[in-house]
Amino acid sequence: MAGTLYLVPTPIGNLGDISPRIVNTLAQVSLIAAEDTRVTRKLLNYLNLKKPMVSYHRHNTETGGQQVLERLLAGEDCALVSDAGTPAVSDPGEELVARCAQAEIPVVPIPGPCALVSALAASGQPTGRFTFEGFLAMNKKNRRAHLDALRNEERTMIFYEAPHKLAATLQDLTATFGPDRPVSLCRELTKLHEEIRRTTLGQAAAFYQENPPKGEFVLVVHGAEPRPEPEATLEDGLVLTGRLRETGLSLRDAVRQAARELHLSRSKLYDLALARER
């Protein structure tokens, strides 16, 4: 029987966020697939654990992934960890999970630290509907295409960004969404210098142009205001009345329903529809 791949989150800055289940899982597996074994070794030392590790990172997803897959298929349990946060979210783990799913190897997620969830929750932006956009591409054309596709996005948008690219990204976001769009810059979450700056894109772009940013950031950008539906015309009403008539409704009932759906004057629509039917 195949083993299980456990997705084990690690702290994004605060060691106090290691839950008992995280420790138990790391203690119980026979193997850890780590993004950077040096980073994970420090964590294991802190937890007084010794475990065999294999390296699984962006540049060896094929060979590293195959190695992990074979050991899982041979019945070993494996924990996948990234340098920080939840593995497989903007991390190479995504491919390993897909391969396990394809090979019908059980995948068990352990809940825990995740930068995007903490940022969204604390952002003060609407959380009912959101879209996680990860990192913007470095390549200018792909970056432009990504931002253009978000121009009318009404859901709250979440971006990851490295500090040395933050100023340029804020400028691009300002050019796309306008300087008045609210943004929450969530910096150094769970760390000593944690900061949540709720401002506008224009103000944030100006601020970080002058003050080089330090630390890790998640940007939570307010969605676009919904565009008002264009008002329906009496011609739209006639088209809908015609369609409803084809389902067998009387002229009076078809007009009543069309007028209600399109917020039109029933009497005006009725007079016009009657004149067309004569």
x/- string (CB under 6 A) for ligand SAM, residues 141-170?
-------------------xxx--------
Regarding 10 and contact with ligand SAM (CB under 6 A), the answer is: no
- Helix (H) or strand (E) holding 21, with range, is helix 20-28
Pair 133, 95: CB distance under 8 Å: no
Task: Give the CB-side neighbour count of residue 104, counting CA atoms within 13 A.
Answer: 1
Pick the binder of ligand SAM from 95, 153, 188, 236 (CB under 6 A). 188
Does 190 help bind ligand SAM (rule: CB under 6 A)?
A: yes
At closest approach, how far in Å is the CB of 15 from ligand SAM?
Answer: 12
Q: Which stretch binds ligand SAM (CB under 6 A): 49-57, 88-96, 166-174, 204-212?
A: 88-96
Instruction: Name beta bridge partners: 135.
Output: 160
Q: Total number of residues binding ligand SAM (CB under 6 A)?
A: 24
Closer to ligand SAM by CB, 34 or 255: give it.
34
Residue 62: partners with Cβ closer than 8 Å, 6 or more residues away: none
Residue with tokens 């295409």: 145
Q: Please, what is the end-to-end C-alpha distance for the chain in angstroms?
A: 76
Q: Is 89 a binder of ligand SAM (CB under 6 A)?
A: yes
Q: At its nearest, how many Å lie between ligand SAM and the CB of residue 163?
A: 8
**According to the binding rule CB under 6 A, does residue 217 interact with ligand SAM?**
yes
Residue 42 CA to residue 65 CA, distance in Å, equals 23
Question: Which of 26, 31, 34, 116 touches ligand SAM (CB under 6 A)?
Answer: 116
Options 18, 80, 189, 220; binder of ligand SAM; rule CB under 6 A:
189
User: How far apart, in whole angstroms, are the C-alpha atoms of residue 178 and residue 38?
Assistant: 42
Q: What is the DSSP letter of 38?
A: H
Query: Cα(101)–Cα(267) distance, rounded to whole angstroms?
Result: 60
Interaction site with ligand SAM (CB under 6 A): 12-13, 82, 84-86, 89-91, 114-116, 160-162, 186-191, 216-218
